[in-house]
Structure 1
Amino acid sequence: MLLAGMASACAAVLHLGVIVGGPSWYRFFGAGERMAQMAEAGRAYPAVVTAGISALLMLWAGYALSGAGAIGPLPLLKPALCLITAVYLLRGLAVVPMAVASVPQPATPFWYWSSAICLAIGIAHLTGLIGAWSSL
């Protein structure tokens, strides 16, 4: 769980870095041309959405760290960790239909590497969750 928590925290910080890095970072990290153009135009939407994702990832990091015993117990720890694990695993596997059938859209390099990262974090969560289940 500790590794999973650190991975989520790193992802949260990286999302904040995208906000600071601006349009070129939105493009590089696969947020899409529309988000990059909105950032170039000075619109708040890209930063708000990215900050929201960062906050959610930091919350998930907190739950994983709580599951690892690194911080105190958080409310609804078991169900929250199950849900977080499921989201990471499902997001990690989301590229499979795109790769196989190109439906609803063909997979891009962003989808492949981001799915691999999410799958790895999901596996870390699942492994940690199984190992810590009885003590949660």
Structure 2
Amino acid sequence: MNSCLLAAGSLSALAALLHLGCIVFGAPWYRALGAGERMAQLVESGSGHPTRVTLVIALMLLLWAAYAFSAAGLIPRLPLLRVALCAITAVYLARGVFGFLLVPYFPGNSLTFWVVSCAICFSIGVLHAIGLRQVWALL
């Protein structure tokens, strides 16, 4: 079992659970996790938009966790494993390195949110990259 991909998948799953926590616990969680005052206010006003966006993100993160777990040997092989893991790794690394370019599009998010989320994404991307390299021949 590949420990880097196991860790990467676990971190993706944890991120998904935190997103689901926002849906369950509402505006205070959106604020605490740095999603911005606008999202928190939308939740408080009864808008379904934050829930839909957050649910899509959570489901995507769970899918990404499943692909990492598949490549790690924890669950059965998923389709297009190499392609999917390359894409997931690229997205995590790009979000980590270039995430600050998104700041103008999400003005309500705190600086702390951007620094922490970019560092987390970059770290998960590095774990994916190392793990992917280690299991490449097996995929």
TM-score of the pair, normalised by structure 1: 0.90
Q: Alignment length, in residue pairs?
A: 132
Superposed, 1:1-136 pairs within 5 Å as 1-95=5-99, 108-136=111-139
Q: Structure 1 residue runs of 4+, over 4 Å off?
A: 95-98, 102-105
> In 2, Cα distance between the equivalents of 1:10 and 1:111?
18
Q: Which letter maps to 2:13?
A: A
Give the structure, 1 or 2, with the largest relative contact order (CA under 8 Å, sep 6 or more): 2
Q: Tell whether the 8 Å contact from 2:100 to 2:114 is kept in structure 1 after alignment.
A: no
Q: Which letter maps to 1:124?
A: L
- Structure 1 gap ranges (5+): none
> In 2, Cα distance between the equivalents of 1:96 and 1:18?
23
Change over 3 Å in CA distance of 1:38–1:96 after alignment to 2: closer
TM-score of the pair, normalised by structure 2: 0.88
Q: Which letter maps to 2:126?
A: I
> In 1, Cα distance between the equivalents of 2:35 and 2:84?
27
RMSD, aligned CA: 1.9
- Structure 2 gap ranges (5+): none
TM-aligned CA deviation for residue 88 of structure 1: 0.2
Q: Which letter maps to 1:46?
A: P
TM-aligned CA deviation for residue 94 of structure 1: 1.8
Q: Which letter maps to 1:135?
A: L
> In 2, Cα distance between the equivalents of 1:49 and 1:96?
20
SS at match of 1:42: coil
> In 1, Cα distance between the equivalents of 2:104 and 2:54?
26
